[in-house]
Structure 1
Amino acid sequence: MGDGALIVAVAIKGNNSKTKGVVRWALQQFASQEHVVFKLLHVQPRDSISVSTARKDSTTTVYKKDVDRKTREMLLPSRDMFAHREVQMDIMVLESDDVADAISKAVQDHGISELVIGASSSIIFSWKLKRSNLSSKISDVTPRFCTVHVISKGKLLNVRKSDIDIETSITDDRSENQFTSSSHSGSVSSTSSHQFSSTPLLFQRMQALSTVNQKVGTKIGTNSNIDTHHNRTASLDVDTKMLNQKGFYRTSSSGIGYGGSDIQGRRRSYTDEGSSSSCSSDPTSSSSQVNKDFELEKLKIELRHIKGMYAVAQGEVMDASKKVQDLNQRRSEEASRLKNLTIREEDADEVVEMERERQEQAENEAELVRRCVERETEDKLEAQARAEEVRKEKQRLEDALEGGPLQRQQYMKFEWEEIVQATSSFSDELKIGMGGYGSVYRCNLHHTTVAVKVLHSDKSNLTKQFHQELEILSKIRHPHLLLLLGACPDHGSLVYEYMHNGSLEERLMTRRPNSDAPQPPLRWFERFRIAWEIASALYFLHTNEPRPIVHRDLKPANILLDRNNVSKIGDVGLSKMVNLDPSHASTVFNQTGPVGTFFYIDPEYQRTGVVTPESDIYAFGIILLQLATARSAMGLAHSLEKALRDQTGKFSEILDKTAGDWPVKEAKEMVMIGLRCAEMRKRDRPDLGKEILPVLERLKDVACNARNMFAETLMDHNHHAPGHFYCPITKDVMDNPCVASDGYTYEKKAITEWLEKNHKSPMTDAPFPNQTLLPNQSLLSAIKEWRSHLIK
């Protein structure tokens, strides 16, 4: 904002016709002037944006943004009026409970010259009688240098003038009165009239110079000494007296005019001179002499003003010179300090270099000694390491049998080096799965095939979830829950039993295309049994004491199958453990957001964020429908409901044909119980222990009978299997063939038990060169292919 600009403030309260009238009047009155800046004032109460200290959360930010948005919308029409006139305008939103005080402070802080406000409802008829309204209060407290315009219905109602306007008005009135009195006097000559018209302008110029001299005198007195200030002040007083003697006087309000007695004296003097000398004197020369005297006095004052300015400039030059000297001295001191620091740094570098040489020499000597010691003790250390490993293994087995430290720790702790070595430094060839929490690897630990889950190292927020899963799986055991063998807590690793047949999702939908041999489809009686196994594991979790456990992510991908297609629920504890509030009797838990896979999430839990054991019942119902159809979960319930209502036999067509000849009655029972579990409202879903488990247990018995009949048929076909499919020890078709060091292939479990008791080969009766077992992958693929043809 440039100097000398006229600042006009328009105070508005809301967006109505009164506000538009105030803005329109201000634009008509001041917009056409040059160098004018408008400010739009709006006072906003503090309590509308105050926030309780007890709740400083995201709600505060949202509320305050909403208040700011409403304020901008309210000021938008007024802003558009200024933009239409193409004038400069600033918006000022003040926060105060006292409107008048806030406007007064804004006028004071920003130097506002003109303030335009709207009239209060009662001010239109009682401006002088009632002073308690807001417009009157604003006019009273506004600084006196500002002019206040009160507008009503687009017209000016009242004006409270500033002190500057009042003084100017008084001066103009006095000058006009003196001019009138002089014009009516018939004895004043033409010379007097000329002197009257030119003198006020000259005196105003003298007064401005006198004011500047006063300021200069004050500054000089500050920079130099007090005597100079007194001398210049005295000279200014003399100038003022001289001007008064010439016929001028200064009013109390800085107005300027003639002295009355001097005017009368001059009139008499001019009259006497005219009568006595008549035509002997020249009036023109007398008037010229007076003007010269005034010009001379003006030049003297300007000269003193220039001298004062020179003194000020000289003082500033001296101050600048002193500052330059101080800076030069400081620069010399800093240069000296820098030089000293440089010398100290060089000395420190020399000391560091000497220490480095000493350290290198010591390291070389230590390396020589270490090599000598290693050569002497290498065999001894290797023997001690083997003995220590055997001792640790023996201690672990004893603890596991006696329930000692394992009972206290609830799980076996593995060393990180063991896991790294077993997984070949986490080789991609051993990776069997990857999820949002980490990667899963298949490896051998302590002569056992296991699955190791390693959490992502960059997921620091998973520490709590890891410990929750560790706490749950280390304290609970169930035949159909994935068994936790151990963990490495320091590196976020969990060791599970290895499930050879993958997940239920792979067996139902994908058929594991990346496996070494194609997996045969699950028979319908196996699916009945798997449904009962999942329900029994869920019932165990939901009735856990003292705190029930809700899985919250039950789906076919988290149901794993072992080599005999026995199902076990995995991923039980990672961020899925929910604590029960002791003050409530129900198992209802509040969560911040839905957790799980979309098609298996309880709709009521997804809508309300409240999770209950019935949320797992919903996901279990979808799994039952997938066991019957081997289809995607999307829209599956609707398709089955439509097939059940149809009387033309479409239900049999929707069942998975690869499972064999379904018993239609039992299949309908499983589908109907699944549809009840998948109801939208949890109160419509059946109870797991009282309604679901009895039905599935009856279906399991039917499946058991069918399985026995199928096994007898399969045994008849086994007599036609190739001879190399049979294990030399068990005489049965092998499930996991391995090659021993004698060159023969055995069932892994059988040969492992044989090696624990015997050291000679069952085929050659010669000692085994070593106890290494290698999987026979080609033979395993051939056996799986032969079995798949049998089932088909």
Structure 2
Amino acid sequence: MWNQRGNNNGNAIGNVERRAEIVAVAIDKDKSSQYALKWGVDHLLSRGQNVTLIHVKQRPYSIPTPMGNHVALSDVNDGVAKAFKTQVDNQAKELFLPFRAFCTRKDIKCNEVILEDMDIAKAICDYVKVNLVETLVVGSPSKNTFMRFKSSDVSTNVSKGAPEFCSVYVISKGKISSVRSASIPVPNPPPRPLQNQIIPYHSSLDVQPIQNYGTRAERTPFAPRNLIEDTEIKSPFNRNKASNKSYGELSISDTDISFVSSGRPSTERMYPFDSQEMMGGAPPRLSCSSDTDNRSSFGSSFSASKSSDPNYMHGFSSGSESNTASWSSSQNLDEVEAEMRRLKQELKQTMEMYSTACKEALSAKQKAMELHRWKIEEQQKFEQAQLAEEAALAIAEKEKAKTKAAIEAAEASQRIAELEAQKRMNAEMKAHKEAEEKKKVLDTLAHSDIRYRKYSIEEIEAATDHFSESRKIGEGGYGPVYKCYLDHTPVAIKVLRPDAAQGRSQFQQEVEVLSCIRHPNMVLLLGACPEYGCLVYEYMANGSLEDCLFRRGNKPVIPWQVRFRIAAEIGTGLLFLHQTKPEPLVHRDLKPANILLDRNFVSKISDVGLARLVPPSVANSVTQYRMTSTAGTFCYIDPEYQQTGMLGIKSDIYSLGIMLLQIVTAKPPMGLTHHVERAIERGNFSEMLDPSVTDWPVEEALKFAKLSLKCAELRRKDRPDLKTIVLPELNRLSNLAEDNMSSSNNNSVMMLGGTSCSSTRESPIKSKLARFFKRIS
């Protein structure tokens, strides 16, 4: 990498004016941009330094319609086109939010630049050339079989087209994919103007001021809104008198979540960008800001430092003659360069005018040829008409019928033309109406407070065959659960039982929570019927984790790899609940029965009807929030919460520890921590593991069990933190399981491709996993 260095023996002025190295990172929506920025911050930058984030957006020429088509911007009115362009600009600006937050955490100042061009690589190269960027980091997508047959990507084109003074690093998955080092030093920037002097700069660039991001703004508190009015909930069973049936006590849990943004703090903007350093050709449209005030203040401080330093004054007086000569020659060189730039600009304008004149002349010639052709055609038609008229006069009687037929044909053609015009008008009106309806729908969605679909009791009854016993798949304290189809989608409907204790408050709590949060590891709430207390969830094909661990209903044995992955997914979903804004959410009833598994054994947390919002000031592990009554299942309730009523986010950590022990032992929760501790002390922990799994990695399972015992400590202050300790270890074990599964699959492929008879026998792990996934499919 080339750096412009000053002379150690002499010129103090050159040392002061030496420019700082410019590091830029090209970003886009893909994940490779995140890898590129992280690598650049870790290897090229230190705290307090600046990094320039470059994003190229392509100019929109059409607007998508609800019918899946595209309408050109020139065919719509100015208001719609302006609104669509504003939306595209906002999306481009929102792209910087995660990168800006990452730079803020790393104490790196970021300058955001938005370029507009159809050629992304050319736009980046032009910006690097104009702004003398010395180091450029570009993300590259991961290589695969398909990518080998594609043309060169953006990173390759940038590496080839970047100026020779710029070093280009191509990053793929956090590692260097290729490096193109600089071959020449950075050229000297044009001379800066003296203090309080303004040099006019003419450019074809469309420069827009963009603010720089530095300080945090205050968070807007999030207030949960009650989506269910405080009205009496009627029972659908009272509606039909003939459906009086008894209910069993089989427990089934359903839940869902909707998304709540964690709301990262926004930051104020300040982008230093020296527009006077721009030289050469006109790059694509970019957004930047100049910082002449900083240069003025920098020059003032530099003058003050020079006057106060006797060594500097002595050195300056001794070399004044040589400095005067070099300054004069430098000034003459600058004047020559300025004159060359002016002449180049005039030549460019002259060439543009010449090109425009040539285009206009060619267009006029084409129009003249078309007019001449039209005149000849009209003359031929006129001559033919004369001949036809003479022939008609000669045989008038014979041509009367033909004339009448021609008139009828002309009338038919006119009618067809009128119909086509009417159809075109109807199509335009329909398109205009669709655009207005789309705008109305978007406005309605923007101002709507309802975040779930409301179903009528008639739709619920029709889907469940009037709450038929054949549709029932379970029943709990809240009420029965039915499996049916709504909108051609398999769903599970939980119906409030009329005599359920605290049923109405639990229904409102579950709807309020699930309509505000959404996460891949939370069961999805599809809709509700508030009048009759019905909740509609997505259907989970493999039931609860408790049923699978104890193999109820002839469930298949879950391999240890899948169990480690399920544990990490539960920890991820629980951390999401604890990080809800503005108030953390405590589940209070975390157990295997409330962990549901879909057809691919992906785990999701359900049954948040007992969850409580804890004020942020009391959400940590030191202070708690006092509840008037405890809730949850006995063996999984936090002992301190059970005794004192003090609720905190670490109350769920205790329940998580008990459940993690059940995942590896498949044993009941009563006294499970005591039995596992005794087995570890005696050195026979392997006997506590689930015997249905024969290939346990005992060492990793022991670490898993010790972490679970720490989570199940009696005192809340002795339990580890979920985000910093528990979840990273669970993710490590999950990655270990995935690596084991992938290596087993690779070994099986090698054995099938080999010719040796001794290597054709499959490994036990591979055979077991194959049987498991074949059974669940």
With structure 1 as the length reference, what TM-score do the two structures score? Answer: 0.38
Higher helix share: 1
TM-score (norm. length: structure 2): 0.39
